[in-house]
Amino acid sequence: MKICVVTATRAEFGLLSGLMELIDSDSDLELQVVVTGAHLMEEFGHTVDAVRFAGFRVDAEVREITAAETNADVAHQVGNGTSGFATALGSLQPDAIIILGDRYEMLAAAMAAFFLEIPIVHLHGGEVTEGAFDDSIRHVITKLSRVHCVAAEEYGQRVVQLGEHPDSVHVVGGLGVDEASRLSLMSRIELETNLGIELAETIILVSYHPVTAGGHDSVAELSEIIAALESFPEATVVFTMPNADPGHQLIRKLIEDVLSVHGPPWHGFVSLGQLRYLSLAAMATVVVGNSSSGLTEMPSLRTATVNVGMRQKGRLAAGSVLTAAPNRDEVRSALSKALSPGFQGALGAVVSPYGLPGASNMILDVIKKTDFRAFAEKTFFRVRLNKDESADAPR
């Protein structure tokens, strides 16, 4: 079977790479790789190079999707990207396509695959992130997909609530848990040498992306986080640059302006890559911002998280995650708690809601057991209502 994996960002590729290796090494499967979005842009590190460096052949590049400055840009790019993916997938003719998550690049790929009648295997569906338009995109991709591999039981139930048949839903755990256990992480000396920086005893890793729902001012929110960080002068602070969502240029400029004033021990990197990012995260005292990795990967690394604002509102969170409103006092208070000896001492007992390592192998097993050519017309699965609910009740 020809299995096509689509990737658009450094973070997403990091989650997919273990699964891609398994597919590529399986004699019954042929891996196809399509890259798009930030992977192909210099301002985000041209990370398609990292895909190739990892040993994967890139079968197609969909260049119609670039960075978006406005929501209108996103709409145009989804349209253009759908056309680009239709051409690429029409040429590759895969038996199935694997799409992870909820970004608008993935929506374009899903729409093209749907109309080309290529079955979609959707990873990490059923989740909720109320502070981003990704939340709705994720559910749309769910409805276009035929196979669902979800990270937790609650997420699987939500996919069924959306009308997907329970037999199509497989609870496999989080891919971030897999990556955190699969990689041989770098030592402190290796990381300092590789990054060219000195790491203090206290390390704060900052990962903040645009808030794309609800009319929030992302620059104002990040400014509050930065103001809170000023209270911890002993710490090495490392910023990762934002993703390609609308508003990313303003966030990036703010970070660059702050770094020009502070200098060491504050540092910024366009793209750390999965190995350096997870190595630094595992070494960090706390991760702060609004990245999904703070909730999905940091608990497995036993690293504290201060999740700021509503971008990740609705995701399952471990006991290692503290939540703060986007104002300096709340962020400062949460950071102080996260850095406290008591909180740090309890991290070893944290249990991740995203399960144990093994998601990639379970997804591979699902793929190999699925006869993608035998799918009949998709139907809506109706969930039985509770006895005190009516069919017309709002849900």
Following DSSP, what letter does each residue of 383-395 receive, concatenated? PPPPTT--TTS--
In angstroms, the CA 188 to CA 149 distance is 35
Q: What is the pLDDT of residue 130?
A: 83
49-99 confidence digits (pLDDT tens) = 999 999 999 999 999 998 888 889 999 999 999 999 999 999 999 999 999
Q: Which two tokens stand for residue 196?
A: 């060219």
- The label of the residue with tokens 């962020």 reads 331
Do residues 329 and 126 touch, judged by C-beta distance below 8 A? Answer: no
Do residues 308 and 289 touch, judged by C-beta distance below 8 A? Answer: yes
Do residues 364 and 24 touch, judged by C-beta distance below 8 A? Answer: no
358-381 confidence digits (pLDDT tens) = 999 999 999 999 999 999 889 999
Q: What is the pLDDT of residue 394?
A: 38
Closest listed residue to residue 252, CA positions, set 216, 288, 218: 218
Q: Which two tokens stand for residue 330?
A: 């709340």
Q: What are the C-alpha distances in Å from 164 to residues 132, 218, 235?
A: 23, 35, 47
Domains 2-172+358-374 and 185-349 share a fold: yes
In angstroms, the CA 228 to CA 334 distance is 10
Q: Three-state SS for 170?
A: strand
Q: Which two tokens stand for residue 46?
A: 């041209």
Do residues 323 and 290 touch, judged by C-beta distance below 8 A? Answer: no
Q: What is the pLDDT of residue 294?
A: 95
In angstroms, the CA 87 to CA 81 distance is 10
In angstroms, the CA 308 to CA 310 distance is 7
- CATH fold of 185-349 reads Rossmann fold (3.40.50)
Do residues 251 and 208 touch, judged by C-beta distance below 8 A? Answer: yes
Core vs surface per residue 84-94: b (16+ CB within 10 A) or e: bbbebbeebeb
> Per-domain residue ranges for the chain?
2-172+358-374, 185-349
Q: Which residues pair with 34 in a beta bridge?
A: 6, 60
- CATH fold of 2-172+358-374 reads Rossmann fold (3.40.50)
Core vs surface per residue 18-56: b (16+ CB within 10 A) or e: bbbbbbbeeeebebbbbbbbbbbbeebbebbebbeeeeb
- The label of the residue with tokens 């080309």 reads 116
Q: What end-to-end distance do the CA atoms of the chain give, in Å? A: 39
Q: Which two tokens stand for residue 132?
A: 């981003």
Which amino acid is present at 35?
V
- The label of the residue with tokens 């991709």 reads 141
Q: Which two tokens stand for residue 362?
A: 């379970």
Q: Which two tokens stand for residue 178?
A: 């897999």
Do residues 327 and 147 touch, judged by C-beta distance below 8 A? Answer: no
Q: What is the pLDDT of residue 386?
A: 66
Q: What is the pLDDT of residue 212?
A: 83
Closest listed residue to residue 195, CA positions, set 300, 265, 262: 265
Tens digit of pLDDT per residue, the chain (395 long)?
Answer: 999 999 999 889 999 999 999 999 999 999 999 999 999 998 888 999 999 999 999 999 999 998 888 889 999 999 999 999 999 999 999 999 999 999 999 999 999 999 999 999 999 999 998 888 889 999 999 999 999 999 999 999 999 999 999 999 999 999 999 988 888 999 999 999 999 999 999 999 999 999 887 777 999 999 999 999 999 999 999 999 998 888 899 999 999 999 999 889 999 999 898 899 999 999 999 999 999 999 999 999 999 999 999 999 999 999 999 999 999 999 999 999 999 999 999 999 999 999 999 999 999 999 999 999 999 889 999 987 665 554 443 33
